[in-house]
Structure formats: structure tokens, C-alpha cells
């Protein structure tokens, strides 16, 4: 315990799509910046030209979850290696156990955590873990097969998850980050996430070093269960 980190804190800006109150999906898509050539309908048509594709939302009792979680972990490691990211969390077996436990644990309220999967000709191309709160859906992790990156499977699946939230009157939280798809869907809407935790073990310290480690997931769960609700309006106005 003498080497334990007693306290760490971090603040990040988290983009979200303000979908509640929106009624016209096509008009909303057209209003998103940076998507004039890659709108959801276009990407789906391009993917369909390569075979039959399907998007499924799996519940906690689906027997395919363990194998799809392992597939996702392998694809995430390939992505990290391709991008030169050295993440103890991504390369650990603990990551697979964490996601598998999250998606199949009967102790969680039914309908809180879901695995969305995009398949082409029956084979997985992308997978997202999404948590459902009272007024928002939260994208916890997204993974895709690099071999099919030219078909943008990750973007297609995120688009479908946003549409799923739109149809249910939920805003969509993308988690911290400045990826293009997040800035496009959010249109500048964001809030500040502040995370604080105790790291009493070596593995806890290693996990903290991972850019996308478990610490952020724990911070988000408080929001999902309604203990801490982020502001519903943008934390800062979109830049001109």
C-alpha cells in the first residue's frame, strides 16, 4: 500500500447529441456538420453493395455475448497496435472479463447495458457497448474490424445506435474524445466530465495509465444510474 496512488482527478470534455425534442431524423442528419458526403443512408447503401448486413441489439441472456466480447477485445488490440497505442487495459485479459461481466451480470437492472453488433454476411464487422439511462444512451466502447475499414463499419454502427436513441427520445452521449464522428453528431454540444478515484493496487495504477481504462467506465455508471446527471444543454456554444 505504500506505493498506492491515493487520489487522482481528471477533467475531459464529453460530446453528446441532443436528440430529445427532435422529430425528423432525415432533417437532423442533414443538419450535422462534416457529414455531407458520408451521411448514414449513403454509408449503408455502400455497405449493402458488399452483401447482406444486419444490426442487432443483444440482451444479457444471449449466448453469443462471450464470443463477441472476445472478438471485440481482439479487434481493439489490433486497432491499438495499428495506431501505436500502448494500453495495459486494452491488452489485458481483465478487459474481456469486465465487458463480459457487465453485459451478462443478472444483478444489473434489465435493459441497462446492451451489445450492438453489425454483421456482414453473418460475420461481425463492428460492436458497440451502450448503456441506457433515464434520458440518455451512453456509448461505452466501440470496436470494428480493421480489414474492412474501407466500408466504415464502425461509423455505420454508431449511426445506427444514434438512430436507436433518437427513436426512443433519448440523447446520445459519446464519452470523452475528439473523434470526427463525435464532433459531427454533437454539433458542438458537450459537458465536462470530472473523475476521481483511489488506486490502492499495482493493477489499479496500471489501469489508470491506460488512455481508455476502466476508471472512466466507473465514473460514467453514476450518471447512467441517475446519481449524477450532466447538464442537458451544451457546456459551451459551438464555435463558428
Q: Read off the pLDDT of residues 85-100 as tens digits, 9 standing for 90 and up.
A: 988 889 888 889 989 9
Asked whether residue 206 is domain-assigned, the answer is yes
pLDDT at position 177: 86
Asked whether residue 235 is domain-assigned, the answer is no
Quote the pTM value.
Answer: 0.79
Predicted confidence (pLDDT) at residue 5 exceeds the cutoff of 70:
no
pLDDT at position 48: 97
164-193 tens-digit pLDDT: 999 999 999 998 888 899 999 999 999 887
Asked whether residue 232 is domain-assigned, the answer is no
Asked whether residue 234 is domain-assigned, the answer is no
State the number of CA atoms in the 13 A half-sphere of 101 facing the CB: 6
Asked whether residue 229 is domain-assigned, the answer is no
* Domain CATH for 43: 3.40.630.30
Q: Residue 23: which domain range?
A: 5-224
Asked whether residue 233 is domain-assigned, the answer is no
Predicted confidence (pLDDT) at residue 2 exceeds the cutoff of 50:
no
What are the cell numbers at 150? 474501407
Q: Which residue has the higher pLDDT, 160 or 14?
A: 160
Asked whether residue 46 is domain-assigned, the answer is yes
Average pLDDT estimate for 21-49: 93
The whole-chain average pLDDT of the chain stands at 82
Asked whether residue 92 is domain-assigned, the answer is yes
pLDDT at position 224: 58
Centroid of chain to Cα 89: 16
Give me the number of domains the chain comprises. Answer: 1
Amino acid at each position: 500500500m505504500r506505493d498506492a496512488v491515493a487520489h487522482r482527478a481528471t477533467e475531459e470534455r464529453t460530446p453528446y447529441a441532443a436528440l430529445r425534442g427532435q422529430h425528423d431524423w432525415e432533417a437532423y442528419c442533414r443538419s450535422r456538420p462534416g457529414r455531407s458526403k458520408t451521411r448514414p443512408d449513403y454509408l449503408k447503401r455502400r455497405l449493402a453493395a458488399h452483401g447482406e448486413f444486419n444490426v442487432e441489439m443483444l440482451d444479457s441472456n444471449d449466448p453469443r455475448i462471450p464470443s463477441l466480447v472476445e472478438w471485440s477485445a481482439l479487434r481493439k488490440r489490433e486497432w491499438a497496435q495499428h495506431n501505436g497505442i500502448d494500453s495495459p487495459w486494452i491488452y489485458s485479459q481483465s478487459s474481456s472479463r469486465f465487458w463480459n461481466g457487465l453485459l451478462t451480470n443478472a444483478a444489473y437492472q434489465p435493459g441497462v447495458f446492451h451489445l450492438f453488433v453489425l454483421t456482414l454476411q453473418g460475420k461481425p464487422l463492428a460492436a458497440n457497448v451502450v448503456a441506457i439511462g433515464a434520458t440518455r444512451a451512453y456509448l461505452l466502447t466501440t470496436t470494428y474490424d480493421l480489414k474492412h475499414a474501407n466500408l466504415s463499419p464502425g461509423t455505420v454502427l454508431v449511426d445506427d445506435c444514434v438512430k436507436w436513441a433518437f427513436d426512443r427520445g433519448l440523447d446520445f452521449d459519446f464519452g470523452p474524445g475528439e473523434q470526427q464522428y463525435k464532433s459531427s453528431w454533437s454539433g458542438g454540444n458537450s459537458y465536462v466530465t470530472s473523475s476521481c478515484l483511489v488506486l490502492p493496487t499495482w493493477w489499479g495504477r496500471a489501469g489508470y495509465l491506460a488512455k481508455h481504462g476502466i476508471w472512466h467506465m466507473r465514473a460514467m455508471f453514476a450518471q447512467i444510474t441517475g446519481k449524477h446527471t450532466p447538464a442537458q444543454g451544451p457546456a459551451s456554444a459551438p464555435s463558428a
